[in-house]
Amino acid sequence: QVQLVESGGGLVQPGGSLRLSCAASGSIFSIYVMGWSRQAPGKQRELVAGINSGGTTNYGDSVKGRFTISRDNAKNTVYLQMNNLKPEDTAVYFCNALLRVGVRDDPYTFWGQGTQVTVSS
């Protein structure tokens, strides 16, 4: 059983910062990609950022230059540093991980339960 547990969401004023964390635990052989997506009310889920095991990153256009994704492979944990937050960043943020639970298993994407980020004055 694999679990992804997010933390760090909350209420912040425009221009403020938050740091999200997501730790993967359970039966894990290898994690390839970890990342964050978000979903605002009435909108489709969108990519925020991703990072592979080698540290290569990619970002959604709306967060480039403001958000930074990082990863601690030893702790199976991914972080999202969010700076200069805007009201349009308000959403539920979901952690995800593409991983293999066993050497003979196919890679599969697991998701966390989500953490609410609200940017409002």
pLDDT of residue 38: 98
Q: What is the distance between the alpha carbons of residues 120 and 106, in angstroms, rounded to a whole number?
A: 42
CA distances from 27 to 33, 75, 80, 114 (A): 16, 14, 24, 21
Q: What is the pLDDT of residue 74?
A: 94
The predicted pLDDT at position 20 comes to 98
pLDDT given at position 50: 98
Provide the pLDDT confidence category of residue 121 given band limits of 50, 70 and 90.
very high
CA distance 121 to 119: 7
Q: Over the stretch 74-117, which tens digit does the pLDDT of each residue have?
A: 999 999 999 999 999 999 999 999 999 988 999 999 999 999 99
pLDDT-derived band at 9 (thresholds 50, 70, 90) equals very high
Cβ count within 10 A of residue 65: 9
What does the pLDDT read at residue 118? 98
- Which residues make beta-bridge pairs with 76? none
Give me the residues paired with residue 47 across strands.
Answer: 37
CA–CA separation, 26 and 10 (whole Å): 26
